[in-house]
């Protein structure tokens, strides 16, 4: 009665089929476990550093807190508040400066493995660093009330004025910048700065530090001097220590009293807080 079993165990051919069947069954049993282990890791925006007054929806935040997606009333910084956020450990970071509001609009992982990140800078200023992506479907976007900055690996700064007008400067990489008109998309190269107006209108900009074309004119009373210059419209300017306006075309046109030593100093600062200083001596 036991002979068939004895012959089965001694038969190499049948033993091979038996082992194959056992291995196949084991693979079938393991497949759901492998699929589970390949599930994408949860995505997050985490607070890495804070200083001063920093809140989320009105409540104080702590290092290690993770921000959920929200349409409004997101992370807010006070007059002395700053925060540095990290996205998924390695994708990038955002430095939020004082008197700013940043919302997490979306964190998604695509079927292709690509990751899309969407933030909203409702007001204030933020400096963004994003590593270069390996997956062509990955994308990182920062929206503002007046535009959108889409990147795939770069470092740039955004500044949203109270009326929504958006200033953007690129330090490294390429940023695709669009304004109110989504059809107008500018490929912004390193060393350039751009403005998206709050209302309908073209995006303006160019080189951050180009030809200044600095000139002065001593007025008829000999006690005042008119200073004119041309710079990038995202820059700010100070003349002899006092702020002077820069219009949307980047023009500076200011009349100031002539100092006793007849010297003028014009300082141009970009969104990365880099400065160029120009000094003039007004001859009698």
Spatial separation of the C-alpha atoms in residues 104 and 245, rounded to whole Å: 33
Model confidence at 2, in pLDDT bands (50, 70, 90)?
A: very low
Q: Is the pLDDT of residue 51 over 70?
A: yes
Confidence of residue 241 (pLDDT cuts 50, 70, 90): very high
Q: What are the respective helix, strand and coil percentages of the chain, to the nearest 5? A: 10, 50, 40
Confidence of residue 152 (pLDDT cuts 50, 70, 90): confident
Question: What's the pTM value of the predicted model, to 2 decimals?
Answer: 0.79
pLDDT of residue 34: 46
Residue 26 or residue 57, greater confidence: 57
Which residue intervals of the chain are DSSP H helices?
A: 3-10, 12-37
Q: How far apart are CA 253 and CA 21, in angstroms?
A: 86
What is the spatial distance between Cα 249 and Cα 269, in angstroms, rounded to a whole number?
A: 16
H or E stretch covering 210: none
Domains of the chain with bracketed CATH: 45-205 (2.60.120.1440), 215-281 (2.60.40.10)
pLDDT mean over 121-136: 93
Antiparallel, parallel or unpaired: β 82-87 and 192-196: unpaired
Q: What is the mean pLDDT of the chain?
A: 86
Decide: 283 and 217 in contact? Cβ < 8 Å: no
Judge contact between 82 and 96, C-beta under 8 A: yes
Helices (H) and strands (E) in the chain, counts: 2, 21
pLDDT tens digit sequence for 168-216? 999 999 999 998 887 889 999 999 999 999 887 889 999 999 889 999 8
Q: Is the pLDDT of residue 274 over 70?
A: yes
């Amino acid at each position: 009665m036991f002979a068939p079993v004895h012959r089965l165990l001694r038969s190499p051919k049948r033993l091979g089929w038996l082992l194959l069947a056992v291995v196949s069954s084991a693979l079938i049993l393991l497949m759901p476990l492998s699929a589970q282990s390949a599930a994408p890791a949860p995505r997050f925006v985490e607070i890495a550093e804070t200083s001063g007054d920093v809140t989320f929806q009105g409540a104080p935040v702590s290092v290690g807190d993770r921000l959920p997606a929200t349409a409004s009333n997101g992370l807010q910084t006070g007059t002395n508040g700053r925060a540095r956020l990290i996205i998924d450990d390695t994708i990038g970071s955002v430095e939020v400066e004082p008197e700013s509001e940043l919302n997490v609009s979306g964190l998604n992982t695509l079927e292709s493995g690509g990751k899309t990140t969407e933030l909203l800078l409702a007001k204030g200023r933020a400096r963004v660093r994003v590593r270069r992506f390996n997956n062509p479907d990955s994308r990182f976007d920062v929206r503002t009330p007046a535009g959108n900055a889409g990147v795939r690996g770069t470092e740039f700064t955004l500044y949203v004025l109270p009326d929504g007008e958006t200033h953007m400067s690129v330090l490294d990489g390429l940023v695709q910048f669009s304004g109110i008109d989504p059809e107008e998309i500018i490929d912004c190269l390193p060393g350039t700065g751009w403005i998206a107006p709050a209302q309908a209108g073209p995006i303006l900009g160019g080189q951050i530090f180009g030809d200044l074309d600095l000139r002065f004119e001593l007025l008829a009373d000999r006690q005042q001097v008119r200073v004119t210059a041309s710079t990038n419209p995202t820059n700010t300017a100070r003349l002899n220590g006092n702020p002077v306006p820069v219009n949307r075309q980047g023009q500076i046109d200011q009349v100031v009293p002539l100092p006793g030593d007849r010297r003028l100093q014009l300082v141009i600062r970009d969104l990365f807080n880099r400065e160029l200083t120009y000094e003039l001596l007004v001859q009698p």
